[in-house]
């Protein structure tokens, strides 16, 4: 029946061409289902996962980035623009220690959200059996410069880093110190579960203003955004002063964007207007 209809259509088109009429082919529609053939469950699942948002993927793979925490909407806001790009994502901490089959839940989530990306995980427990296709798992400590440099040498400098490792402030700070200068312009560095800054059992401090915590690092980065406005005589900008472009703070999550933060300032003109010919006042914060 379909063959007869197709032939009839061809006859009509031929006659129209002979008469000098322009014939346009209709836009191809969806393929007709073949009688007796059942849909491929794997293909259907693939289509569904590729169309899912990050929260839906977190639920699918049972990662605590949604549920226990509310991280996925923030991640989607800051990472959506990379969804179709090829790049390296590095996650510190793979998780799933109690149940082997639950290991790498967030890596699987990232793999479907970024289908063209290389998803790399680092953990102090051996999860290298997860390595397959776009997923690469490494064994090592998140503060070990050797393993971090080896990952970058083998997988490329990550455009996205997720620190979901030990959550111990000293480890968080050291990983950031090692990795951040190695990242390309436009990279995004994320620190999860930063609430441990306030928990002494995790290496944090009861005093929210205590030095040496993860949040103390973040507060320094926020000040550094405005380093060109400091009236501190002889102040030398740090690397992060110059290369942290933005800091976004959410409940238990911080997202840091790398970029050139040397925009210039009208500080000297304003200072001259305020103080006239006198020098910019020196830092007197050490005085009692």
Weakly modelled stretches of the chain, pLDDT under 50 = 1-5, 8-9, 11-12, 15-16, 19, 21-30, 285-288
Which element (helix H / strand E) includes 163?
Answer: strand 160-163
pLDDT at 63: 95
pLDDT at 282: 54
pLDDT at 288: 39
- Give CA separation, 48 vs 29, 44, 56, 102, 160, in Å: 20, 6, 10, 21, 24
Structure-token match 């790399």, residue found: 120
Q: Which residues are catalytic?
A: 167
DSSP helix/strand/coil, 143? coil
Residue 8 resides in a domain: no
Q: Say how far apart CA 179 and CA 162 lie, in whole Å.
A: 11
CB atoms within 10 A of CB 53: 12
- Give CA separation, 91 vs 31, 57, 165, 217, in Å: 40, 17, 8, 20
Rg value, the chain, Cα: 27
Residue 12 resides in a domain: no
pLDDT at 96: 76
Residue 43 resides in a domain: no
Secondary structure in 3-state letters for 165-188: CCCCHHHHHHHHHHHHHHCCCCCE
pLDDT at 103: 84
pLDDT at 139: 97
Residue 2 resides in a domain: no
Domains in the chain, number: 1
pLDDT at 249: 98
What's the CATH code of the domain at 251? Answer: 3.40.50.150
CA neighbor of 91 nearest in space, from 192, 164, 5, 197:
164
pLDDT at 13: 52
pLDDT at 278: 54
Residue 96 resides in a domain: yes
What range does the domain containing 127 cover?
53-275
Residue 281 resides in a domain: no
Structure-token match 């993927």, residue found: 57
DSSP helix/strand/coil, 58? helix
pLDDT at 38: 80
Q: What's the number of CA atoms in the CB half-sphere (13 Å) around residue 183?
A: 30
DSSP helix/strand/coil, 249? strand
pTM to 2 decimal places = 0.82
DSSP helix/strand/coil, 107? helix
Q: Say how far apart CA 79 and CA 74 lie, in whole Å.
A: 9
Residue 33 resides in a domain: no
Which element (helix H / strand E) includes 43?
Answer: helix 41-50
Q: Are 189 and 176 in contact (CB under 8 A)?
A: yes
Structure-token match 């070990």, residue found: 144
Residue 39 resides in a domain: no
CB atoms within 10 A of CB 200: 10
């Amino acid at each position: 029946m379909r063959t007869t209809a197709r032939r009839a259509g061809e006859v009509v088109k031929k006659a129209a061409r002979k008469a000098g009429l322009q014939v346009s082919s209709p836009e191809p529609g969806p393929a007709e289902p073949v009688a007796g053939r059942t849909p491929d469950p794997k293909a259907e699942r693939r289509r569904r996962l590729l169309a899912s948002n990050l929260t839906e993927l977190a639920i699918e793979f049972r990662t605590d980035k949604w549920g226990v925490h509310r991280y996925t909407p923030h991640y989607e806001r800051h990472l959506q623009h990379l969804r179709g790009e090829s790049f390296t994502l590095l996650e510190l901490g793979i998780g799933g220690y109690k149940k082997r089959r639950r290991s790498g839940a967030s890596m699987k989530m990232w793999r479907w959200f970024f289908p063209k990306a290389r998803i790399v995980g680092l953990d102090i427990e051996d999860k290298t059996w997860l390595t397959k296709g776009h997923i690469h798992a490494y064994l090592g400590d998140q503060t070990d410069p050797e393993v971090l440099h080896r990952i970058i040498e083998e997988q490329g400098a990550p455009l996205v880093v997720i620190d979901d490792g030990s959550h111990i402030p000293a480890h968080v700070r050291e990983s950031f110190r090692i990795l951040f200068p190695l990242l390309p312009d436009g990279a995004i560095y994320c620190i999860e579960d930063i609430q441990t800054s306030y928990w002494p059992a995790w290496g944090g401090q009861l005093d929210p203003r205590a030095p040496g915590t993860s949040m103390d690092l973040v507060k320094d980065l926020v000040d550094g955004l405005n380093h060109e406005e400091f009236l501190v005589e002889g102040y030398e900008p740090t690397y992060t002063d110059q290369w942290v472009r933005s800091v976004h703070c959410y409940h238990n999550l911080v997202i840091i964007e790398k970029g050139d933060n040397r925009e210039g300032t009208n500080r000297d003109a304003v200072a001259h207007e305020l103080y006239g010919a006198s020098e910019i006042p020196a830092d007197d914060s050490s005085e009692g």
